[in-house]
Structure 1
Amino acid sequence: MQDPNADTEWNDILRARGILPPRPGPTEEEIADEMDRAIAAAQDRHLEEKQLDELDELEDEEDERVLMEYRRMRIAEMKAQAMREKYGEVIHISKPEFVKEVSEASKDDWVVVHLYRDDIPHCRLVNSYLNTLSKKYKSTKFVKIIGDQCIPNYPDKNLPTLLVYGEGDIRAQVVGLAQLGGDRGGIEGE
């Protein structure tokens, strides 16, 4: 016996006479699959009709579109990086500038404060390291202030002192050179 659901001329005659029930319509999935096949076939025919130089031109246009998108993304990344890298040097501040230059600035960026005195050799050493670091980490603000100008009666034995501020608050402090490795300390990667 033949399959009554088969799409044959004989079954069509039997359906026309009412012997077989009408053939069920296609499902949405079958319609979607057929549409996908038709679109793919049309695109293939469209590409088959193209000459080699036309295909090369289409490929070049696609390459150019991808390169333009990559270029746009890269420019956006570079602009964002330039916005973050706004410092690059150690700034000398005074007590009246402290709130603006440290407390307020640290709400947006990390701020490293060096409490120092010029006549202390370890302070000069830390200043030179901070100059190097400020050029490498331009998104971090580096400032220096004379110790007893920042904190009245701050003892010289605690110099050099580093204070690290972030999110408007002090996050770390290093008092004296011993915590930094003493005289033998240095910047890694130099």
Structure 2
Amino acid sequence: MYCPVGRLDALDSSDLEVLRQQRIAEMKLRARKKQEWLAMGHGEYTELADEKEFFTVCNKSDNVVCHFYRDDAPRCRIVDKHLKILAAKHVETRIVKLNVERAPFLTARLKVRVLPTIGLVKSNKTTDFIVGFTELGNRDDFSTEMLEWRIARAQVVEYSGDLTVPPTEGKKRVLQVQGKRNIRGRNDSDSDLDSD
């Protein structure tokens, strides 16, 4: 329950106790959910054996990220590195990979033609795809934060940042603001010609 700061002073001890009990109940529920997620394989980046296992995973977990890959594709190894980090960070989402050679029906049905492709599944429905690296800055050295932000835009992971601005853009804006100032801290020129 949210309580604005001004109203916080007006609360008596019984109100504070109610708030405390609600927060404890929320924390217990979250801990219980986390244990359930871990029991279902969340928190680890695992490989699925086949298409049947893909459907089983999607039926059990509300949020699934599936990396469609092939062993001989070097860019797939880049995605593996990032998804392994995100799997440990986002226990609320099941993050898996599936070799396209073991899933011909599924890859044809989902129209997976470019590798790597990341399928984003919410409530047992494929809602979005990340195809190649175009949406990740169109470069091989994109950050894990960039991939996390892109997955979060599909609401498949919990994200605390701004979904309207990619993490790389936010950093550029900060650098631009800092870069405009000169040594004296003024935004205008310090040329001797300007003072005449």
> 1:111·1:141 contact (CA, 8 Å) conserved in 2?
yes
Deviations 1:16-44 (A, max 9, x none): xxxxxxxxxxxxxxxxxxxxxxxxxxxxx
Tell me, yes or no, if structure 1 residue 174 matches structure 2 residue 130: yes
For residues 130 and 123 of structure 2, the distance between their equivalents in structure 1, rounded to whole angstroms, comes to: 18
Tell me whether 1:136 sits opposite 2:89 in the alignment.
yes
Distance 1:66 1:117, change over 3 A: same
RMSD over aligned Cα, in angstroms? 2.9
Give, in angstroms, the shift of residue 75 of structure 1: 2.0
Tell me which amino acid in the other structure corresponds to 1:135: A
Distance 1:100 1:153, change over 3 A: closer
Answering whether residue 116 of structure 2 is matched by residue 160 of structure 1, we say yes
Question: 1:167, 1:152 → 2: CA distance?
Answer: 21
- Residue 187 (str. 1) matches residue 144 (str. 2): yes
Q: Return 5+ residue gaps in structure 1 as ranges.
A: 1-61
Which of 69, 76, 79 is the equivalent residue of 2:25?
Answer: 76
- Percent identity reads 33
Q: 1:93 aligns with which of 37, 43, 48?
A: 48
Structure 1 equivalent of residue 193 of structure 2: none
Do the aligned partners of 1:113 and 1:142 also contact (CA within 8 Å) in 2? yes
Q: TM-score, normalised by structure 2?
A: 0.53
The 4+ residue runs of structure 1 with deviation greater than 3 A are 65-71, 152-157
| Aligned 8 A contact 1:105 1:111 in 2 | no
CA shift at 1:167, angstroms?
2.0
What's the CA shift string for 1:79-108, capped at 9, x where partnerless? 222244322221211223121112x135xx
1:111 corresponds, among 46, 56, 64, to 64
- CA distance in 1 between counterparts of 2:75 and 2:118 reads 12
Q: How does 1:1-150 map to 2 (within 5 A)?
A: 63=13, 68-85=17-34, 86=37, 87-95=42-50, 96-102=52-58, 104-106=59-61, 109-150=62-103
| Partner-residue secondary structure (3-state), 2:127 | strand
Q: Which has the higher helix share?
A: 1
Count of residues in correspondence between the two structures: 125
Return the TM-score normalized by structure 1: 0.55
* Residues 147 and 159, structure 1, Cα contact 8 Å, conserved in 2: no
Q: Cα offset for 1:115?
A: 0.8
Report the CA distance between 1:170 and its aligned residue: 0.8
Q: How far apart are 1:120 and its partner, in Å?
A: 2.3
CA–CA distance in 1 between the matches of 2:134 and 2:32? Answer: 35
What letter is aligned with 1:73? Q
Contact 1:92 1:144 in 2 (8 A): yes
8 Å contact 1:112–1:162 — kept in the other structure? yes
Counterparts of 1:98 and 1:138 in 2: how far apart (Å)?
18
Change (3 A) 1:136 1:76: same
**Residues 1:137 and 1:174: Cα distance change in structure 2 (over 3 Å):** same
